[in-house]
Structure 1
């Protein structure tokens, strides 16, 4: 049995970025750039009006003859004489010899003559060519997370494809004779299976939306068979349940018989002690405890950073902050504790129902309180480490 820090170090060492691939910009939300992007053009590509109004050459004049109109999408570089102006709209081309746009709200117009009642400064309301970015300038650095704004920026530069790190193909294997799919009739001795949908939701939270799920009874032959196919087809295998030491816990044996290298088994923590991490070729395997709170805690602490590293993220672990605990707490277990909690800007409270089988308070928690194995007495208002979950 190893300590939490050892487990995290082993996972980090044995997880790696996945191969790069080209994808459509429109489909790139949440991916990580594998290559820096440089602008293929000036943006804006011409001098633009930033307002609806009138464009003119700045001078001592306050009245101008309106000789033409420039709408967004129009182009005319006809020279405009001194004393003349053009009606112009936001985003429209500004002819070369005009340098200023007055807002229409600051004018009066009669008989094709515009009078400026509030004179702007010279060059006002004109976006220069390349004002946002110039050709060959850096658009986005390597390892940038693609957001909706980044997609919009790339699209306005005419970029349709980018190179990113692939997202891992993830499979969830749920074990247990007692499990029934939600929505079906339940009989005595059975319980509804919740871990798969919980894990699928957690995966969606980090941008992994295509997940396969398989269910297998507590049977060694069937467990070996399903794991063999999953190890061949997926980058990450998540197994729920069957990893403890009961007579019907076959997952570890099935993994080892399929050539999975055991990198660690059991962590000195609560909840989630019977956690297995292994690897076969480039596929990594987490066999998670079956109790729901243990499953989700283990996902946040261990699976989450491995997947983030696969996806190309630089910061892979959930952040840690310090908060003052609202009650005294004693840890006599000798284990690292991950306690469901609620934190605000100053304090954190340990919630009720800390059992590894219970999700009732986990559903309302916004943090995990991290208490190291070698810390026994925690005093009220003492600062503790907190891992926010939202």
Structure 2
């Protein structure tokens, strides 16, 4: 059994990115993964223009009074020109007149006999935006594998790039295993427990195409039949990951021809997690305890999706300092939940919690994953955190 970081590295060699694409409109592009490099379609700006309302003039005429020839509005496609000691009043986004190189902002205007007197001297080239100063036609825009956010969408919209090619959504099937489980919308007596795993996993992975398959009873034939009828890029189960008598998932996957990529990991509370593969189909078995299932999916589920989509974006690591001395068990990766107070990380309840709990997740915004050789953290020690 390998440690967490070795296991995650192995996944990079075992998981092949999807090679299926689709064309979507820009309004549907948030959180999708680009399937091609994109290039600028036009200069940005596409012509010299004013960055603010004011007066466009030639800086060489600075000490003279300037005749105001008229007003240039945004959207006016005519070509204007100034001569010696002339200027135009100009609106934001309007085309710069020929021979003008500087704009005096409207708040600094001083008019006398219908002439502009410049009393507050601006810098030369003030508020003039040059054609192509931000982007030139044909210039590289975004790299294949980029996970698109609202800022990327603004950039593409500015280029008139409306239809884009993206990796198709990853198809995920989720079910829970256990005779004791009831759904949150069902009646639950004292002998049953509510299924607290499926819905949070679905929302955690909501950028994918999710299909919830419900609760499957602890019966080998039922489990094997259910698994044989699924066809997803990634099948996720919670429960049935340990080695108890009624845990039939491993046997079912073996009989269906799945190959184990890993069976367990030296990490608390993700130890019972397993990953199987058959052709291009993957099956991730998560622990049944809610916290263990959530954190295991946060680490393994997101990593698998990242690899399938061939995304460039990596999990954001946050630098912090340990807020207290902490002793942990050596020989495994420990998942340590907590919060930041200023720049110091404070572990939840001194890292004392059970894998079946949920409140520690609610009360923690960050996750520290220890190296297997670490058994002590010292207050003030530099650490790296993942944001949950």
SS in 1 for 2:237: strand
Tell me by how many angstroms 1:321 deviates: 5.3
1:241 to 239, 242, 261: 239
Mapped pair 1:46 → 2:43: no
- For residues 124 and 92 of structure 1, the distance between their equivalents in structure 2, rounded to whole angstroms, comes to 15
Mapped pair 1:211 → 2:210: yes
Q: Closer, same or farther in 2 for the Cα pair 1:38/1:237, shift >3 Å?
A: same
Give the equivalent residue in structure 1 for 2:259.
Answer: 261
Structure 2 unmatched ranges of 5 or more: none
Q: What is the aligned length?
A: 383
Q: Closer, same or farther in 2 for the Cα pair 1:101/1:322, shift >3 Å?
A: closer
Q: Closer, same or farther in 2 for the Cα pair 1:369/1:44, shift >3 Å?
A: closer
The superposition leaves residues 330-365 of structure 1 with CA deviations (integer Å, 9 ceiling, x where unpaired) of 527x54332333345244435355211111112212
Matches within 5 A, 1:13-24: 13-19=13-19, 21=21, 22-24=23-25
SS in 2 for 1:296: helix
Q: Closer, same or farther in 2 for the Cα pair 1:45/1:318, shift >3 Å?
A: closer
- For residues 343 and 60 of structure 1, the distance between their equivalents in structure 2, rounded to whole angstroms, comes to 55
Give the equivalent residue in structure 1 for 2:304.
Answer: 306
Q: Closer, same or farther in 2 for the Cα pair 1:65/1:6, shift >3 Å?
A: closer
- For residues 288 and 77 of structure 2, the distance between their equivalents in structure 1, rounded to whole angstroms, comes to 66
**TM-score normalised to the size of structure 2?**
0.88
Give the equivalent residue in structure 2 for 1:115.
Answer: 117
Give the equivalent residue in structure 2 for 1:361.
Answer: 360
The superposition leaves residues 146-166 of structure 1 with CA deviations (integer Å, 9 ceiling, x where unpaired) of 221121111111112333334
Give the equivalent residue in structure 1 for 2:286.
Answer: 288
2:336 to 339, 342, 359: 339
**TM-score normalised to the size of structure 1?**
0.87
Alignment RMSD: 2.7
SS in 1 for 2:36: coil
Tell me by how many angstroms 1:286 deviates: 0.5
Mapped pair 1:174 → 2:173: no
Contact 2:38 2:143 in 1 (8 A): yes
Contact 1:291 1:357 in 2 (8 A): yes
Contact 1:340 1:354 in 2 (8 A): no
Contact 1:267 1:273 in 2 (8 A): yes
Tell me by how many angstroms 1:195 deviates: 0.5
- For residues 382 and 93 of structure 2, the distance between their equivalents in structure 1, rounded to whole angstroms, comes to 53
SS in 2 for 1:301: helix
Tell me by how many angstroms 1:114 deviates: 3.2
Matches within 5 A, 1:102-141: 102-109=104-111, 112-141=114-143
- For residues 373 and 86 of structure 2, the distance between their equivalents in structure 1, rounded to whole angstroms, comes to 81
Deviates more, 1:238-247 or 1:25-34: 25-34
Contact 2:169 2:209 in 1 (8 A): no
